[in-house]
Amino acid sequence: MPEAKGSKVWTTLITNTEYLSGLLTLDYSLKKVGSKYPLLVLYTDSFDGHKALESRGIAKRHVPYLHPTSQKDYTNDVRFYDCWSKLTPFSLIEYDRVVQLDSDMLVLKNMDELMDVPLDAAELNGAGPRVFAASPACVCNPLKKSHYPKDWIPENCAYTTQHDSPNTAQVAGPSASAGLGMPNGGLQVVIPSQGTYDKIIEHLSSSVTSEYDFADQSLLGDVFNGRWVPLPYTYNALKTLRWKGVHDTIWRDESVKNVHYILSPKPWDEKTDVQGQDPSHAWWKSLNTERLAEEQQRGITDGF
């Protein structure tokens, strides 16, 4: 299958079929909101759902499975072993712009403007003040996971700094240095550059990566500390921000452009009659039902 055409693309990484339903609905949501840019799926050797992509005409590209020389034990969050490969878009120098999306996202509104966010030119090779753009990580740890860092508390969260200015939070992100200064790796706006990618690869060989609790986003926040462009939460609306007592102060359903279904269970793993499930999961299930109905009319009934 040919790769995505054009100078600007959305990308998403997939390493197994567990996230395939999420990926297909992400692709469907991008098309439904009228994005003029294609989605390019980046897959590793472990992915075996190629027929599902091919039957839907979704472009794909093989990428190496990235991992650091020294790696932290992610037994409590095994998904982080795969996350290093989300740094691959920095290497796609045949494109002028890449916006990396996690496969557990749902686009609710057109956000093609991300393809034009001012960033450093590729020639700066990661040495400038605007290397990439992302929304900040939420470090509130609302589920009180015991293996999370002790400094992951609401007082250290970038979004907490916006509680007194919720209107501004809809259109502007906190400072890149606010809170712990860490971006969320789920959405990255990147101008690919070999020099920037070389810096990342060099860092993957450093022993410091054994201290990174959150893989790729820990690396990005460290290597490019304060030199990334903070986007408002609306482009990477972590579903937990909406929860009462987390950041519901700034969350507005009508402002959200892209929902990120972090943590488990994912919407596609739930039965429709489960009580107490996250209300935002209904948004995904509604669009997924629409996707499946359209695909059935086209003769696609592979169960994904």
The CATH code of domain 8-297 reads 3.90.550.10
Q: Looking at the predicted structure, is the pLDDT value of residue 70 above 90?
A: no
Q: Looking at the predicted structure, is the pLDDT value of residue 274 above 70?
A: no
- The answer for residues whose C-beta is within 8 angstroms of residue 64's C-beta and 6 or more apart is 44, 85, 88
d(CA 118, CA 89) in angstroms, rounded, equals 17
Q: How confident is the model at residue 74 (pLDDT cuts 50, 70, 90)?
A: confident
Check if the beta carbon of residue 139 is closer than 8 Å to that of residue 152: yes
- The predicted-structure confidence for 189-245, as pLDDT tens digits, reads as follows 999 999 999 999 999 999 999 999 898 999 999 999 999 999 999 999 999 999 999
- Average pLDDT of the chain? 95
- pLDDT for residue 276: 66
Give the pair of three-digit tokens for residue 293: 């109905």
Q: How confident is the model at residue 73 (pLDDT cuts 50, 70, 90)?
A: confident
- pLDDT for residue 128: 98
Q: How confident is the model at residue 75 (pLDDT cuts 50, 70, 90)?
A: confident
What predicted TM-score, i.e. pTM, was given to this entire model?
0.96
